Amino acid sequence: MMGRRDPQEARRRLYEYAVAQGGYFTAAQARIAGYPKQLQYYHVRRGNWVREDRGIFRLWEWPRSSHEDLIRWTLWSRGAAVVSHQSAMAVHEISDLMPAKIHLTVPPEFRKTPSPAMVLHRDRLAPHEIEQRDGFRVTTPLRTLIDAARVDVDPERLSAAVRDAVLKGLVADRHIEAAIDTLQGAAAERLYQALTLARKAA
């Protein structure tokens, strides 16, 4: 026989999810915490939860995040996605580029169908290439510059991003130089040229 649901314990477990995810949580997480579907409907009707998307909620008292779209797509990916490329440049504020689509890096085996609002890049990132933010993960500034060079971001924007990253102390010159040595072909040349231009502009 199943034990009775403890409302306080369910709320505590739900808050654990929400705190780690910028106030957001999924229907599946709510169910695990102790909120069956009927209770989920109830809390939405009462205004305790805000339905942000299909199967994604936010606690009403939680302030909206400036990166709520990134948090929502992280939840959509079940935590597999890492914000990357042009979107990571925007997060790190090393570019004035506002990408029309959200760029995410996912493992090669990721199988969910992407939304038209996103671009999925398939790669296996190392732990040292990822930073944890409030509710989502993002590639480090160095990895972000490497990715930008690989996808042929506009040379002037890439150079500006390199300059900003160095001036803000996010990346050291020597680390960019070391990264260039690990790249091949056009990507290595693009990052080298960007670093050269950034040094001249500094």
- Per residue in 103-153, pLDDT tens? 999 999 999 998 899 999 999 999 999 999 989 999 999 999 999 999 988
Question: According to the model, what pLDDT value does residue 202 have?
Answer: 65
> In a 3-state reduction of DSSP, which class is residue 116?
coil
Cα–Cα distances (Å) from 98 to 86, 123, 159, 163, 166, in that order, read 8, 23, 16, 18, 20
- Environment class of 192 (CB within 10 Å of its CB; exposed 0-12, middle 13-18, buried 19+): middle
Mean pLDDT of 5-25: 90
Report the percent of the chain where pLDDT is more than 90: 75
This prediction's pTM: 0.85
Cα–Cα distances (Å) from 118 to 101, 121, 125, 173, in that order, read 5, 10, 19, 31
Residues 6+ positions from 128 with CB-CB distance below 8 Å: 140
Question: According to the model, what pLDDT value does residue 2 have?
Answer: 45
Mean pLDDT of 53-57: 89
pLDDT band at 199 (very low <50, low <70, confident <90, very high): confident
Pairwise pLDDT comparison (184 vs 106), residue with the higher score: 106
Q: How far apart are CA 18 and CA 77, in angstroms?
A: 16
Question: What amino acid is encoded at 19 in this protein?
Answer: V
Question: According to the model, what pLDDT value does residue 160 have?
Answer: 93
Q: How far apart are CA 58 and CA 136, in angstroms?
A: 15
Mean pLDDT of 156-162: 93
Question: According to the model, what pLDDT value does residue 4 have?
Answer: 60
Question: What amino acid is encoded at 132 in this protein?
Answer: Q
| Tokens, residue 39 | 């209770």
With a cut of 50, say whether residue 180 has pLDDT above it. yes
Cα dihedral 162→163→169→175 (10° resolution):
40
pLDDT band at 28 (very low <50, low <70, confident <90, very high): very high
With a cut of 80, say whether residue 47 has pLDDT above it. yes
With a cut of 50, say whether residue 19 has pLDDT above it. yes
